[in-house]
Structure 1
Amino acid sequence: MKLLFATGNMNKVNEAKLILKNSKYEIEQLKIPYPELQGNLEEVAEYGAKYVYDKYTLNKKISKDGSGIIVEDSGLFIESLREFPGTYSKFVQMTLGNEGILKLLGTCTKRNAYFKTVIGYYNGKELKTFAGTVEGKISYKIRSNGYGFAYDSIFIPKNHEKTFAEMLPEEKSDISHRKNAFVNFKNYIDSLNLE
């Protein structure tokens, strides 16, 4: 079954494909931008899924199998910064970057953080969200082996020594917040017995 993933970020598509590689789902990227509300991740994902579905169905035909559209919104929440950047993660990544986050933290030893992903799903009838999180901490410096994207080079998941960007894509996708969200989504879709 084909799932239309509305995102301009091919890294997210590739990670979703890795996560669902042994399933009956084929992820297809759909490059339709959507406005991101300034709300919580669930609100952004719900709005995005409905907006993209409505826009896409104006010119194209979505199959009647109920697969619909998925969008995904993620954020990095740093406890000692009052969960900043949170829902502003994309904007902060483009403006401050990882260097800016490390400067804000300075020598602070309380570096607990978590990533959260919310998948929004809409098939013309049902509008649902599926969340996934992973706890960890922020490193003291940027650490990468050339993998990952966005905040991956400063986030160390709990019970690990490497940042996401030091892990192979398969390692990261096995424990990531995105995986947890996609597993919740997959469990729901499986329960519908779509073909």
Structure 2
Amino acid sequence: MTDYLHKFAALLVQLNDTERDEVLEFYREYILDAQLDTYEDCVAELGTPKQLARKVLADYSIRFNENLQDSDSSKPQKSKAGVRAIWLVVLALLSTPITIPALIVIMAILFAVAAVVFALGVALVCGLFGLTILGFGMLTAGIGVFGQSIWVACFYIGTGLAIIGGELLILPLVVWFISLIIQGVSKVVQRLYHRFVKRNRAERGGRHHEKNH
């Protein structure tokens, strides 16, 4: 039991001291109450230390992300929390002992989501890159013809500045769109998590609680 809790604690480094102590105390009391005397008994009841730790980290990350979305935190902070939640939930999903068909469904959905996000990201980056090149190209062209025709030069330079200025104006919209994508992906993986990762017996109230129901 001690060896199990020691390995479990070592995998909870992403939690702060208070959270880690609360989690360890909860599972220590459960293990004692359930009389799980050996390492093998703990694994049979709760999964390996890595599986349990990934589940705990995913649960904490989901709650933290949800609380952050309800607060007045900045978009970068919310996006960072969303990315962290996605990563930890995916790890928890992949370490969960589930059936092969369920695993295929999870991998197919994650692959589809990743493909869509990648396509949107590439399109966005290419579009912004293309506009930036066009804007600087117009500026360069305007400077090049300045000695030949001041009106043509003003047109090129003005157009180039307008393109670059337009990009700066829509930058907050791009940040908002990226944040929206991250939160959308986060919700998808969280639904997968709640669908396929069930609460263990300790979270459901322990053996004695189940027997009374």
Q: TM-score range by the shorter chain?
A: under 0.3
**Which entry has the higher C-alpha Rg, 1 or 2?**
2
Name the one with the larger strand percent.
1
